[in-house]
Structure 1
Amino acid sequence: MSYRMLQAAALGLGILTFQGAISPLHAETQSATGALTGQLQPLAVHSLMLDIAQAGSTMVAVGERGHILRLSADANQWQQVATPSQAQLTKVFFLDVNHGWAVGHDATILATQDGGLTWQQQFSSPELARPLLDVWFADSQNGIAVGAYGLFLRTTDGGQSWQKEFHPELLSQDDADYLADLKQQDEEAYMAESDSILPHFNRVIALEDKRLLMVGELGMVAISEDGGRLWQRLEFIYDGSLFNAIERDKQLYVFGLRGHAFSAPEDMSQWQEIKMPLESTLNAAAPVKGGLLLVGNGGAVIRLDNNLHAELVTQRRGENLSAVAVDPKGRLWIAGTKGLFELKQQ
């Protein structure tokens, strides 16, 4: 196997438009130390947004240029907050109503302790030249952040410090054999190859039984029973990229490139492919009455019922959709290349 080139274009996702207003909560664009901070922009709500998460009674969305938006108390307006970074943010996670983390390009990690009103930078490493693509915390102290080419960071002190980990158990057998041979021949080449040989880690979620499920590039599906310290890579029926996963009613779903979606019981004993109405890449899902709502590239919005029947709800051509979430009032919000919008449920 040869050294793989960084495929940056494959790491970007998309978003949509919201018919609403935006009002800045703060107006700072430069920190006291002179570091670049996210700029408050009136049209940020219409810019590239990549993820949405619930934070107690509100919602928080993240996207390009370090933009972070909060849904107002009356749930009618997205409000931009100041951030300490201009790095593109790819994922946001809330442990509880107050404590949350956002991750993104330049291995950036931001944290909040007040429900997303204010943010502090915990980590950034532009020299790594790769983005973080997801973040998860077990409690206020223990968390992991994962990303491109096997980037894996861990904290045991709430994010005050982060340690890089290498997980060779997530290599394919061919890559593991290749590395073993290379180590015998050229230690320096082995170290260089080890740094980028792992697949992209795209999504990590906690299952109801407390295990972690992680999906990624090259059909990677892996399970951890100890908070991500040791992983078991599972045999899988597809070798393309998987971008997201969700658990619902003791059933697991994973989905990704070109409309490929799969389902299995919670023991993951047998995976089956789900026929989709489009071949659009699927980026995210949210639980809705009677099943799931999936969103993806090409503006695809697809409803998947409990019988694994998929139906196209709508298609917003010229847009890529990257996230979907349900707010505390039961409303569906979607993020994509053109910002945030509410999808009216019928």
Structure 2
Amino acid sequence: GSSWQQADVPVSVLLTAVDFVSSDKGWAVGHGGVILHSNDGGLSWVKQFDGNQANQSIIEQAEAYIAELEFELDESGGSDEDLEYELEDAQYALEDAELDAEIGASKPFLDVAFLTDTHGFAVGAYGFLFETTDGGRTWENAGDRLDNLDRFHLNAIKVLEGGNLIIAGEAGVLFTSSDKGQSWDTVNSPYEGSFFGVLPLKDKNSALVFGLRGNLFKTVNAGRSWSKVDSGTESSLMGGALDGNKQISITGNAGTVIVSNDGGETFSSYSRADRL
């Protein structure tokens, strides 16, 4: 990190996250629903996807779902009240999607995670969850797999040791998947404020989640239960890294840095003198 060079990037939007599956192959996401891909270790990037394509994907999926419900309702003779309610909700969802498309590519992606060099997910604002199974050549809306009717922002997605996935976001929402993202369980969250990050640990199925006002929690069972960890700070925690063994560093607002040397059991905290 002693020297840096600007990569060749085809967009000028704010980029929010990056994930590399090898020394060469990586993906970056950002505002405008942008997803970028690099095959040369990050020296150059191509755009694979953007928010206009995301909006269109959601509209097409909503239209197909409405057609399916209308067929089922017609087959029932038009007397199935549950189907009628479901159809009404689906029509409202389509109207929302069409309004979003009129606004344009306004929603940001906030994190990206790949399980293999072909299979990955991107998450973002207003419940954005998109999946690729072909290395990013195509991306499809997978937001309907989450129980997220309020469309809370999804701020982070990570792959744990062992292969499980965790999504963390606004209002304390937590989702986990044990089948490579094909289905998601809603976790009973230990906290109602926003989470900004997930940090997988070296132990299988273990991770930290962190967010507003220094809130920090640990799981050792892929998110089924959580224990609160004393972060030693009330600054919002924004990002973290593991050194490959037991040392963990998490950074936050106002120059806050918290460090653990025991795998996340305890932390010491300090603030940078310049508060950056």
| Short-chain TM bin | 0.7 to 0.9
Please name the residue that 1:153 is paired with: 130
Deviation for aligned residue 1:124: 1.5
Question: Comparing both structures, which one devotes a greater share of its residues to strand?
Answer: 1
Change (3 A) 1:267 1:116: closer
Q: Output the TM-score relative to the length of structure 2.
A: 0.74
SS at 2:32's partner residue? helix
Task: Report whether the alignment pairs 1:131 with 2:84.
Answer: no
Change (3 A) 1:264 1:140: closer
Residues 298 and 316, structure 1, Cα contact 8 Å, conserved in 2 = no
Q: Following the alignment from structure 1 to structure 2, what is the Cα–Cα distance between the partners of residues 119 and 267? A: 33
Structure 1 portions without partners, runs of 5+: 1-74, 176-196, 320-346
Question: Superposed, which structure 2 residues align to 1:290-329 within 5 Å?
Answer: 290-306=246-262, 308-319=265-276
Change (3 A) 1:166 1:269: closer
Change (3 A) 1:100 1:269: closer
Q: Following the alignment from structure 1 to structure 2, what is the Cα–Cα distance between the partners of residues 249 and 155? A: 26
Deviation for aligned residue 1:91: 0.3
Deviation for aligned residue 1:139: 2.1
Two-structure CA RMSD over aligned residues (Å):
1.9
SS at 2:146's partner residue? helix
Seq. identity, %: 33
For 2:237, give the aligned amino acid: L
Q: Following the alignment from structure 1 to structure 2, what is the Cα–Cα distance between the partners of residues 275 and 309? A: 7
Q: Output the TM-score relative to the length of structure 1.
A: 0.60
Question: Superposed, which structure 2 residues align to 1:216-235 within 5 Å?
Answer: 216-235=169-188
Query: Runs of 4+ in structure 1 displaced over 6 angstroms?
Result: none
Task: Report whether the alignment pairs 1:272 with 2:223.
Answer: no
Task: Report whether the alignment pairs 1:247 with 2:197.
Answer: no
Q: Which has the higher contact order (CA 8 A, sep 6+)?
A: 1
Q: Following the alignment from structure 1 to structure 2, what is the Cα–Cα distance between the partners of residues 283 and 316? A: 18
Residues 50 and 105, structure 2, Cα contact 8 Å, conserved in 1 = no
Q: Following the alignment from structure 2 to structure 1, what is the Cα–Cα distance between the partners of residues 14 and 222? A: 36
Residues 218 and 241, structure 1, Cα contact 8 Å, conserved in 2 = yes
Question: Comparing both structures, which one devotes a greater share of its residues to helix?
Answer: 2
Please name the residue that 1:208 is paired with: 161
Deviates more, 1:264-273 or 1:137-146: 264-273
SS at 1:170's partner residue? coil
> Aligned pairs, how many?
221
* Residues 10-35 of structure 1 deviation map (CA, whole Å, 9 limit, x = unaligned): xxxxxxxxxxxxxxxxxxxxxxxxxx
Please name the residue that 1:85 is paired with: 11
